[in-house]
Amino acid sequence: MGAKEVLVAVGAALGVAVAASLTYRQLRKKKAERKGKKPLPKMTASLFEVTMNFTGPHMPQYLTFLSRTQPSVAVAPFPRWQTTVICSDPQAAKAIFAKCGKDYYYYGVLDAFLFGSTVFTDPSTKPAQRKDLLRAFDARSIEHFRTVSDSLAQEWLAKRAGTDQDFDLCHDMLMLALQTVSKAGFDYDMTHAEADVFLETAGVAAKEALCQVYNPMRRFLCTVGILDNNARVNKVALKAWKVASDIMEHYKKTRNDDKAPVGAAIFNSKCYEDDHHRLRDAIVVLLAAHDTTAFQTSWCINDLARFPKIQSELRRQLRACPQENWSKEVPLLSAVVKESQRLNSVGVAVFREAQEDVDLPSGHYIEAGSSIVVDIYDCLRNPEYFENPDDYTPERWLGTPEENQKLNSSFIAFTTGLRSCIGQSLAAAQLRSLIGCLVRDFEIVRTQHPTPSHALTWEPHGLRIKLRPVESPEKPEPVAAPVSPPLTLLPGTGEVSSEKGSIAKEHEHEMGESTGRQVGENWRERTPAESRRSRG
């Protein structure tokens, strides 16, 4: 058989395969429709528009634009053979999380930079080593993490308290988060030089992964070696591999499992093929735990700096009772943390693959085999579930138990289901502790506004602050349980009021702090998207 005949045969085979696939999908759709299920609507955005905006630094703003002008769960044009669905409805997202595993097409791109698969990129709903890793985040281990975190945070605060200069908050938080995970998880004192290596690796890998995830051609050219992007990232990643090797060797020598719960969980697990596999998961824990915590802390501090009246009221309540009682007697602390998580979700989107048909609360269904982009950022800004979703309103979390239950059922910052965030309890505890100590002792003054930037995570890039020590009152305020502050937050405003009247906030109109509503209206000024659509 000649070359021409081979090409004809291959083309015919591909044609038959495509026709069979399309026929099968049509039959499945008709079967689902006979059962009363509705197929998902389609977005009207173009493939070029979606690809361009998903690979750029303004992806979250573009997702907000889509969520406000398109159906909240809809089929989107993507450069993939599979049907791709974008979801910005939190209740639909929970149905997706309950049935779907991770989409390896998206997460697997990181394997090229980590020299193999990890617990983070494993597409199955129950990775074998995940159960062992969960032991590193039980109640006892979280208390250990909290103790170490508080100690390192106090050292950082003492260092910053001695100077009146402003500083780059994100950089400080990244360093602090890495050193905390290293010390609390592996009982290893990471140096600044070693932390810089990890930060460099994370930055380079995240940017390249983002480009390859949404650009299949670039991914193919890198995989076959026509482009040397992977080689350049791997060169940097080898430095992080060396640091992680030193951390694991230190654990093997000390074997103090109580002080190194993550090291113990990884090293003692029987689910790993070899030490190289263990090392990859150690790197993943260090990488995954540092930027999310650091950026979420930075966003929370930024919000408090934007609203000094709320910051002042929180300080008053924190000083009214001992630190060990904050969780019970200062609900405003949890409220400001949770509201910042809702308004500025650092995990912008997660990716799932439907192994079976997924029925949604709306009566629609996602067909098996579909790839799903769960837009966490806009699930938490969905106006159907959160009143005035673009406003910073901590008091929304201070309602009745029934009101809080309704809000919490739609709060999916850490995702839900079998692949939810392993360290979510730890992250929440760390945030409350650090923010509480910071606000209690210092006035947060912002000296440079952030420029939001996206590269897998949502960063308040360039945010600079100054910490001004606040003197302790001469006479400590009496402790009340529960605290009934004379100042309360006005619903939907972010303002503070007293019995005699309200203290109006100063409205801010700053670059990089536009609300989601403004982003939707002014999208044409921010990105190349050329669309004038209304919700379908």
- Angle (CA) 446 286 184, round 5°: 85
Which residues are CB-contacts of 152 (< 8 A; sequence separation ≥ 6)?
Answer: 176, 179, 180, 183
CB 391 within 8 A of CB 515: yes
Which residues are CB-contacts of 431 (< 8 A; sequence separation ≥ 6)?
Answer: 293, 296, 297, 300, 337
CB 402 within 8 A of CB 300: no
Which tokens in the block code for residue 317? 């309540």
CB 38 within 8 A of CB 31: no
Which tokens in the block code for residue 465? 């602050």
CB 289 within 8 A of CB 149: no
SS3 string, 238-270, reads HHHHHHHHHHHHHHHHHCCCCCCHHHHHHHHCC
User: What single DSSP character describes residue 480?
Assistant: -
CB 376 within 8 A of CB 345: yes
What residue has token string 């004038």?
Answer: 532
User: What single DSSP character describes residue 108?
Assistant: G
Task: Confirm or deny that 421 is annotated as ligand binding.
Answer: yes
User: Which DSSP helix (H) or strand (E) runs through 466?
Assistant: strand 464-469
In this structure, the number of other CB atoms found within 10 A of the CB of residue 150 comes to 18
Annotated binding site: 421
Annotated binding site for heme: 421
